[in-house]
Amino acid sequence: MEPLKKVKFIAVHHSQRKIDSVKRIKNLHIKIRGWEDIGYHYLIDKKGKIYFGRSEKFIGAHVFGYNKNSIGICLIGNFDEEKPTKKQIQTLIKFLKEKVRKFKIPIKNILGHREFLNVTKTCPGKFIDMEKIRRMLM
């Protein structure tokens, strides 16, 4: 895996399944897609627990064209069909604040997957309001 150099963005994703697990996502990424590791750097379950995915030392596999300069965080669930839990959002905000400080990333560079150029997905889902997330980081 290639080393991750300068982090300029944080990408927020959803797993696109109401009932999901880190184990299933890792299996999908490694065994089905043939990647070396899970594509996301972190995952947050419905209870607000953070799981470590791919090391921050390495380029992720989560936003085509932006993997070399971004950290990927996946919220477990399908947020086109349901709202994230309060615990997920609370954990996400706290976690994003830590990463913004660590990498000195402008808040405007915290993006939902759909907000990156040339992306036609709804990820992280219609029930994730990225403008609201960014306001909560100020």
Annotated catalytic residue within 13, 41, 62, 99? 13
Active site residue 123: yes
Annotated catalytic residue within 14, 26, 99, 113? 113
Active site residue 40: yes
Annotated catalytic residue within 46, 68, 97, 121? 121
Rounded distance, CA 92 to CA 121, Å?
Answer: 21
Dihedral angle sign, alpha carbons of residues 61, 62, 64, 67: negative
Annotated catalytic residue within 41, 62, 66, 123? 123
Active site residue 13: yes
Q: Which residue has the tokens 């696109």?
A: 16
Residue 48 in tokens: 């607000």
Annotated catalytic residue within 40, 62, 66, 99? 40
Rounded distance, CA 127 to CA 24, Å?
Answer: 23
Q: Which residues contact 107 (CB under 8 A, 6 or more apart)?
A: 100, 134, 137, 138
In this structure, the number of other CB atoms found within 10 A of the CB of residue 101 comes to 9
Residues with catalytic function:
13, 40, 113, 121, 123
